[in-house]
Amino acid sequence: MQKLLIKGKRELSGKISISGSKNATLPILAASILAKEVRLKNIPLVKDIFTMIDLLNFIGLKTKIIKKSNIIEIKNNEKNINTLAPYKLVKTMRAGVLVLGSLLTKYGKAKVSLPGGCAIGTRPVDLHLFALKKLGAKIKIKNGYIFAEAKKGLKGTIINFPSISVGATENALLAACKAKGKTVLKNCAIEPEIKDLIFFLNKLGSIINFKGRTITIYENKLKSSNITHEVIFDRIELGTYMIACALLAKKNVIIDKIDPKIVKNEINVLKILGVKILKKKSSIIIKKKKKLKNINITTKPYPGFPTDLQAQLMVLLTQVEGVSKIKENIFENRFMHVPELKRMGAQIEIKDKTAIIKGPTKLTGAEVMATDLRASVCLVLAGLIAENRTIINRIYHLDRGYEFLERKLKNCKAEIKRI
């Protein structure tokens, strides 16, 4: 089992380039089932993406990653299609459930494993199934699988989500994009990754627009089959490195290949904390400030502060004067990183769904264990600022969503290596 060894307190300086978004690539890979040929650029070469590619191959699509590039070519020549997403592929990568919408749209049927829960929560898919049923799909759950059918195709309707869900909005889009008549989705998630999916589906010939949290999909006959698409940058990776620089960059660090407008809220939170950030057209320049101010944050659906940056922000708040609070409003069990941070010396108490962080506290290196993707990167941040050495176990969590993490940090003078 691989581990990461980090020697703390090394100042960061230099440049970091942000990779393509894992959470935009996953639904767009699922949408590729609807196309004839797709050329997808700027995909992050991380574990979850390879698992989704395995799933597309299992279904019968032909995929090829162009050597030494972040480009994948996908062909659906409609031969030997298997409308099945098996447990072995969906259990490790829950976004596999997104092929449900595409398979229903394209083939009128699908058998998809229930994704099951993970460390951060039970992760139900009831909202996904609620939307598909509204569009006319027949849904049955048996032996841990979702059996879905829409023999006469799917029919547009008005769907009002009882609560905001990224995955359910994506599955509804994939199912409604070729439905008969007009579909209106209300109370949708509007993350940038969803807008990128809409952009991709419109290239496929769909007619989709959005206003606030309402997405409208019009019936469309157009059938374009060969498309090229460049995936947007990963705003969560960006947020992670912004926090790393807020902790350790005494001189300016440039973070590029981004669009600062998309992370206005996250940049504002760091500015309120006192971090110095200069926005350029496709990069930001960032460095730490001596005194950072304590704050209270609640995680919310976009454009609120993202739950995927909650653990990372918590590390920053251990270094801030005074008491800060983070309320985790999205997932029921997303404080698994707290006991590990406390073993490194952090002073954090959990009350209901709120973490109360006292700072500044000196963190000391320790052997720790990652439990999920974002908790693992929070331990990397803690290791970077802790005294002496930190060893992080179970870093396969990290490899699911951070491309070339060690290389990017080493390029900024951090002392980090895989052992």
Residues taking part in catalysis: 118
Binder among 103, 127, 188, 398 for ligand EPZ (CB under 6 A): 127
CA gap 93, 90 in Å, rounded: 5
Site for ligand EPZ in 343-362 (CB under 6 A): none
The only residue of 47, 106, 111, 128 in contact with ligand EPZ, by rule CB under 6 A: 128
Residue 179 makes contact with ligand EPZ by CB under 6 A: no
Q: Are 23 and 195 in contact (CB under 8 A)?
A: no
44, 20 Cβ separation under 8 angstroms? yes
**For the sheet containing 367-369, what is the strand order?**
367-369, 389-393, 4-7, 415-418
Count the site residues for ligand EPZ by CB under 6 A: 23
Q: Are 89 and 29 in contact (CB under 8 A)?
A: no
Interacting residue with ligand EPZ among 11, 78, 126, 367 (CB under 6 A):
126
Contact call for residue 330 and ligand EPZ (CB under 6 A):
yes
Tell the smallest beta-carbon distance from residue 47 to ligand EPZ (Å).
Answer: 12
> In angstroms, how far is CA 219 from the centroid of its own chain?
30
Residue 316 CB, nearest approach to ligand EPZ (Å): 18
Q: Does 121 bind ligand EPZ (CB under 6 A)?
A: yes
* Interacting residue with ligand EPZ among 401, 402, 405, 412 (CB under 6 A): 401
Binding mask 136-175 for ligand EPZ (x = CB under 6 A): ---------------------------x-xxxx-------
Closest distance of CB 293 from ligand EPZ, Å:
26
317-350 burial, b at 16+ Cβ within 10 Å, e below that, comes to bbbbeeebebbbbbbeebbbbbebbeebbbebee
Shortest reach from residue 96's CB to ligand EPZ, in Å: 10
Looking at 177-321, list the stretches that DSSP marks H as alpha helix, in order from N- to C-terminal side.
192-203, 235-248, 264-273, 310-317
Going by C-alpha positions, the residue among 63, 65, 27, 60 that lies closest to residue 45 is 65
Q: What b-and-e string marks burial along 75-111, b requiring 16 or more CB atoms within 10 Å of the CB?
A: ebeeeeeebbbbbebbbbbbbbbbbbbbbbbbbbbbb
Q: Is residue 13 within 8 Å of residue 251, measured between CB atoms?
A: yes
Q: Is residue 96 a contact partner of residue 140, using CB atoms and an 8 Å limit?
A: no
Strand, helix or coil at 396? coil
Binders of ligand EPZ among 299-318, rule CB under 6 A?
307-308
CB nearer to ligand EPZ: give 162 or 322: 162
Does the footprint of ligand EPZ cover residue 196 (CB under 6 A)? Answer: no
Asked if residue 95 binds ligand EPZ (CB under 6 A), the reply is yes
One residue of 123, 155, 342, 353 binding ligand EPZ per CB under 6 A: 123
Q: Looking at this protein, which amino acid is placed at residue 57?
A: N
| 299 DSSP 8-state letter | B
For residues 95 and 174, which CB has a smaller minimum distance to ligand EPZ in the complex? 95
Binding mask 5-44 for ligand EPZ (x = CB under 6 A): ------------------x--x------------------
Per CB under 6 A, 373 contacts ligand EPZ: yes
Interacting residues with ligand EPZ (CB under 6 A)? 23, 26, 95, 121, 123-128, 163, 165-168, 189, 307-308, 330-331, 373-374, 401
